[in-house]
Amino acid sequence: MYLARCPICKTEQYGYNWVSTPKGKKWLKNAQGIWHNCPKSTGKYQSKNQKNFVKVTDKFFDFCELCSHLLFKESIKLQYPQFSGETLTEHLKTFHPNNEILDEIDFMVISDEEKEKVRVEWGMPKSNKKYISKNKIVSKVD
């Protein structure tokens, strides 16, 4: 039987030998071909407090055709309560109670008079056309 001491956890590893890894480093491996899974070295690569990450895709969102914002779907908010943000229903109730079409200037925190000055300066008159989303491209409905 072989005996080797792990340099990290300082424990005797029975049945393990020093073997070269595929990257050319030396590590402990037993006769069955299993590498020593040192409990102290896994902390280097995995945090005990590491949170599970969720890959967010465009399928998680609803599109608001009145202002072109993306908002969480109701089902996603129920499935992942840790997500912050509003749903389309909440957004419509807050920002579009009268189904008013808004653009980026409407969301600026300035007076209505200042908004009109910005519209003239940017050459962006108030629109009454809804937005559409086609393959991640947003445009106005004709």
What pTM, to 2 d.p., does this model score? 0.57
For residue 79, being part of any structural domain is answered with yes
CB contact at 8 A, 24 and 38: no
Asked whether residue 73 falls in the same domain as residue 129, the answer is: yes
Per-residue pLDDT tens digits for 99-135: 999 999 999 999 999 999 999 999 999 988 998 887 7
Asked whether residue 33 falls in the same domain as residue 71, the answer is: no
Asked whether residue 84 falls in the same domain as residue 116, the answer is: yes
For residue 88, being part of any structural domain is answered with yes
Structurally, the chain folds into a number of domains equal to 2
In three-state secondary structure terms, 105 is coil
Asked whether residue 72 falls in the same domain as residue 127, the answer is: yes
Residue 92 backbone class (left: φ over 0; alpha: ψ -120 to 50; beta: rest)? alpha
Instruction: Write down the residue that tokens 């029975």 correspond to.
Output: 14
| Radius of gyration of the CA atoms of the chain, in A | 29
Asked whether residue 36 falls in the same domain as residue 79, the answer is: no
Per-residue pLDDT tens digits for 51-98: 667 888 888 999 999 999 999 999 999 998 888 889 999 999 999 999
Asked whether residue 79 falls in the same domain as residue 128, the answer is: yes
Query: What is the distance, to the nearest Å, from the Cα of residue 94 to the centroid of all Cα atoms in its chain?
Result: 25
Whole domain around residue 28: which residue ranges?
Answer: 3-41
